[in-house]
Amino acid sequence: MAVSVSDSIDLNTQIDLLREALGEGDLGSAQTHLHALRERYRQEASAFDRSALVELKRLSEGLKLRQQLKETFGYASFRPGQETVIQAVLAGRDALAVMPTGSGKSLLYQLPARLLGGTTLVISPLIALMKDQVDALVEGGLRATYLNSTLSAEERRARVQGLHQGEYELVYAAPEGLEQSVGALLERLDLKFIAVDEAHCISHWGHDFRPSYRNLAALKERCGNLPVLALTATATDAVARDITEQLGMRDPLVIRGSSFRANLHIHAFKKAGAKRDSAVPPTREAILRLIQARPGQSGIVYALSRKSVEGTAEFLQANGVRAKAYHAGLPAEERESVQEAFRRDDIDVVVATIAFGMGIDKSNVRFVIHRDLPKSLEGYSQEIGRAGRDGADADCVLFYSWADVMSLDRFTEDLDADLAALQQRQIRDMFRFAESTECRHKQLARHFGEGISDCRSSCDACSGRDLLAEAPKRAKQARLASAGPLKAPQPIPDSEEEALYLRLKDLRKRLADARGVPAYVVFTDATLQAMARFRPQTPEHFLALSGVGLKKLQQYGEAFLAELTS
Ligand SMILES: Nc1ncnc2c1ncn2[C@@H]1O[C@H](COP(=O)(O)OP(=O)(O)OP(=O)(O)O)[C@@H](O)[C@H]1O
Ligand SMILES: [Mg+2]
Ligand SMILES: [Zn+2]
């Protein structure tokens, strides 16, 4: 964008203009203003007092960060908290970020990794996720790799050698690895910075303690006191303190993000039970209706027992839904193949016990349905947290009944008295949440110690929407068009925009399959939605979409523009 900068313009005004352009994400005019200011400094340095210089330095760093954010990650602006943490890290300060799932914690180390040079070490316990995470980074143009127990000796050797030669900006490793080859490697790398993901695993007080995380205690010291960034979605104050102490952090920045996610639309329905005149149909039919109204969308249905998981999956399959069952009683190969099919969008729905979800990073889960009341609000928030990680809208639908409370109580019968009492209290908290007519996000936030105002439109209590009443029309259309189990029902688009979106999704799937990566790694649903809405016709406009960086433009721009201009 052209900006005319006259010499007569007041210095402070010019700095204001730069700040404004940055705030609006208009990098082009920010660049122009900065350039003009530099020119001015060259001509009359004396006009710049100390505070102006400090401010200019800050703004020029902000511009550099945003340019990198766009180029490499495709985003125009930071989400809340991201820039603060990144700046702290770049300044060499230790930091702990407690931010909800899907809020973009990975960026907090990925962006510095690019800017710091050398290599950034990322410790993560989720070995199953590493390949996907690294694939996604490589797609974006970052030089990333991982070392873990799944690699052949040969592959590992090649990667270690690559690391020695400084080929990688980012290396992911599991905490167990620190006792072995990764540990030996540390001293010989040009390490700049260490990120510890899922950092709550280091604490006994956390919900997921892992002994191997104790290996991290001396890591900072061992690596010459490099800055350390710890990340977790959940940590009480006690756990947060534990994390910073165990990792040996010094004067860390501790940042807590709000747990409220407006893109999750929470709805609850009391099960119909035996009443025939209930407005709510029998649960599995209600679930079928919701799913049929969302053809081609990915979703998870949680059920309490293996039997109910299998029954529900069979019922859905018989009605033309591409669904599979997943529970701990299935052979490992089968569980793996279900996960893989879901990741690749080869099936749409997984019906699962709570065993499903840990270790999947799929960002385009568009709905999470609870067939039965979950055991606790903690478990429930974690499960709905798997929806909408790409930031696009997702529906979370809970079916519940007092009979569910009774069945859940039965699981507590064999426990010792204290634990049983605790769990029964949690079950009742969950039931009260379902029954209440108060904003659901507000209730959840309060449970986790945060005060927020009503969400206004992201829950049934606030919006007054009835997802079941909205479902039948589209469900019927989809049913007419579908043929037989496991053949994808053909979605009937509601509008031209949706028709285009579905074509773009098809294209994404073909490109992803050809490259052997999950579809959401090519572009997220959110990016495809923006594409269908704004219909960019030139590479420049394509690059302006959120989620499109330089590498993605280069790799996929042509194919998508062909679809968009046809
Ligand atoms: N500034 C941003 N603008 C738009 N999207 C973003 C931004 N930062 C991150 N994202 C996207 O948000 C999604 C979730 O990010 P990420 O995987 O880092 O979440 P997370 O906080 O690590 O969640 P979890 O606790 O579940 O691991 C990703 O698709 C990511 O690309
Ligand atoms: Mg994460
Ligand atoms: Zn609400």
| CB atoms closer than 10 angstroms to residue 533 | 11
- Give ion ligand 2 contacts, CB < 5 A: 105
pLDDT digits (tens, 9 = 90+) for 25-41: 888 899 999 999 999 99
Q: Would you state the structure tokens that stand for residue 145, as one six-digit string?
A: 């790799």
pTM above 0.75, yes or no: yes
Pocket test of ligand 1: the residue of 65, 68, 69, 75 to mutate, having most ligand atoms within 8 Å of its CB, is: 75
pLDDT digits (tens, 9 = 90+) for 265-302: 999 999 987 555 667 789 999 999 999 999 899 999 99
Find the CATH number of the domain harbouring 207.
Answer: 3.40.50.300
Query: Quick check: is 556 in a domain?
Result: yes
Query: Quick check: is 303 in a domain?
Result: yes
Query: Quick check: is 163 in a domain?
Result: yes
Considering only CA atoms, which residue is closest to atom 27 of ligand 1?
A: 101
Residues 447 and 508 in one domain: no
Ligand 1 in contact with 233 (CB < 6 A)? yes
Residues 125 and 209 in one domain: yes
Determine what percent of the chain is predicted with pLDDT higher than 70. Answer: 93
Find the CATH number of the domain harbouring 543.
Answer: 1.10.150.80
Query: Quick check: is 6 in a domain?
Result: no
Cα(549)–Cα(543) distance, integer angstroms: 6
Q: Which of 214, 240, 256 is the last residue of a domain?
A: 256
pLDDT digits (tens, 9 = 90+) for 234-265: 888 888 999 999 999 999 999 999 889 999 99
Pocket test of ligand 1: the residue of 69, 73, 96, 106 to mutate, having most ligand atoms within 8 Å of its CB, is: 106
Residues 437 and 514 in one domain: no
Region at 273 (left for phi over 0; alpha for psi -120 to 50; beta for the rest)? left
Could you identify the atom of ligand 1 that is nearest to the CA of residue 78? 1
Cα(520)–Cα(128) distance, integer angstroms: 17
Which segments of 191-341 are extended strands (E)? 191-196, 228-232, 253-256, 264-270, 298-302, 323-326
Residues 50 and 138 in one domain: no
Q: CB of 348 within 8 A of CB of 364?
A: no
Residues 432 and 294 in one domain: yes
Q: Which of 191, 226, 256 is the last residue of a domain?
A: 256
Q: What is the domain count for the chain? A: 4
Residues 384 and 437 in one domain: yes
Cα(382)–Cα(376) distance, integer angstroms: 10
Considering only CA atoms, which residue is closest to atom 11 of ligand 1?
A: 104
Residues 300 and 414 in one domain: yes
* pLDDT at res. 102: 83
Q: Which of 455, 470, 485 is the last residue of a domain?
A: 470
Query: Quick check: is 484 in a domain?
Result: no
Ligand 1 in contact with 72 (CB < 6 A)? no
Residues 317 and 373 in one domain: yes
Query: Quick check: is 482 in a domain?
Result: no
Query: Quick check: is 489 in a domain?
Result: no
pLDDT digits (tens, 9 = 90+) for 292-307: 999 899 999 999 999 9
Q: Residue 95 Cα, ligand 1 centroid: separation in angstroms?
A: 18
Q: How confident is the model at residue 559 (pLDDT cuts 50, 70, 90)?
A: very high
Q: Residue 237 Cα, ligand 3 centroid: separation in angstroms?
A: 26
Per-residue pLDDT, averaged over 503-507, amounts to: 96
Name residue 401's amino acid.
Answer: S
Query: Quick check: is 480 in a domain?
Result: no
Residues 302 and 190 in one domain: no
Residues 53 and 122 in one domain: no
Considering only CA atoms, which residue is closest to atom 10 of ligand 1?
A: 104
* Structural domain for 324, as ranges: 264-470
Residues 178 and 245 in one domain: yes
Residues 193 and 268 in one domain: no
Ligand 1 in contact with 105 (CB < 6 A)? yes
